[in-house]
Amino acid sequence: MLATPTVPATPTAPMAAPAPETASTKIASSSAKLPGPPHAGGDGRPTSNGHGAAAATQAPAPAPAAVIMDHLYRHALLGGLFADTVLCVTGPFSKLYPVHAMILAREPVFRDRLLALRSQSLSMPFAPVPAVLPPLGIAPTAPGVVRPAASTSSSSGTATPVSDVAGSPVLTATSAALNPLADDMSLASLGFVRGRDYLWRIDVVLPDLATEAAVSHLLTYLYSGHLPPTTLDPASAMSVLATAAAIDMPSVVQHTTQVLQSALTLMTLPLYLPLIGTPFAPLVADFLADRIVHLPPIGPVDDEPLIAALCPLPWDLLKTLIEDTPIPSLGNGIPPASAQHVRFELARRVLTRRGRKDESVVVTFGSNAAGLRLIHRQADRRSKKKVWKVGE
């Protein structure tokens, strides 16, 4: 059903008078009385003394831009007044959001979409409204990852999920795999009629990590200018990041990435595991690689939090971190073999903790570069490379 989005806490900005009751029964309106700013009455106007004069302690008059943004946030977003656009969201959930084209146009991705819709409508004689363009929501590609095109079955038209270079699944959304909401007949059944109640319809397909709360954070940013709070817990921040990246809102992506990085520690890393297998996996992998590089150059390895963080990783990622993270040149008379032994001990303890008999760590030698290698017996049984298996 069509509903007003559940939005995060109201940004701290001066407010205007509450919205009048809308005549339309199709757009939800905020029925609760909105509080006024500090030193103001419940209707948003400054308090006055008994003689009608403004109180001596009243706050300075708000800036006009702040008043306008507050009005848009409270009455356009929360109240849904005069919405001219329907945002049709599909993915982990399906929902219709009554929004405003002028506000969406703050983001280039929506502005380009609206201009395309307008151009399409102008090219169609006697057509009061444009047709629907293909949905937004193509997930981004991680830096350094070459994404192959999704293969489509000619019989079913269903896109086959693709993988990144490491073999991990990535977030994809191709036209063949999309499930946009039904056409205007279903909207009309809700009492929302194109050309009378709205001019534009934009379909958005979101990745699995997306939530309604994440969409609400993005709409709050569009209407109020306030980025998501830095106090978001990792799960909420990951949802906002994935949603903003799928829609292509770079300012929110950059902000939320910084929020996640600032909260990422070895203790909180298990909360970040949902990012593995997505374009945002480097956020976790780079953090762990940095911790491995900075291990003490002389053993024994006694970094229990790092070992605990590495244990639940998928095999391919663990193998890449152990084998490909460079062993630093230590100098100060410390031989490279010492650092390599520390890396070996780390790998051995991680595999021991994992408790899988088909996984082991070996030292390679021969014509190729020597070094550590993690062996999965079933996967690597055809390897002809000479290895020494080092005992405990």
Lowest average pLDDT, out of 125-139, 162-176, 330-344, goes to: 162-176
166-204, pLDDT tens digit by residue? 333 333 332 222 334 455 556 666 666 666 667 788 889
Give me the residue spans of the domains in the chain.
Answer: 1-46+61-143+167-226, 281-389
Q: What's the predicted TM-score (pTM) here?
A: 0.66
CA-CA-CA-CA torsion sign (293, 298, 301, 303): negative
283-314, pLDDT tens digit by residue? 999 999 999 888 877 666 667 889 999 999 99
Higher confidence at residue 26 or residue 145?
Answer: 26
| C-alpha 119, offset from chain centre | 31
Which of the four pLDDT bands, split at 50, 70 and 90, describes residue 4?
A: low
Total H helices, total E strands in the chain:
11, 6
Rounded-to-integer distance, Cα 238 and Cα 6, Å: 18
| C-alpha 89, offset from chain centre | 15
The reported pLDDT for the residue numbered 229 is 93
- CA contacts within 13 A on the Cβ side of 145: 24
The reported pLDDT for the residue numbered 135 is 67
Beta strands in the chain (DSSP E): 85-90, 95-99, 200-205, 359-364, 371-376, 387-389
CB atoms within 10 A of CB 3: 13
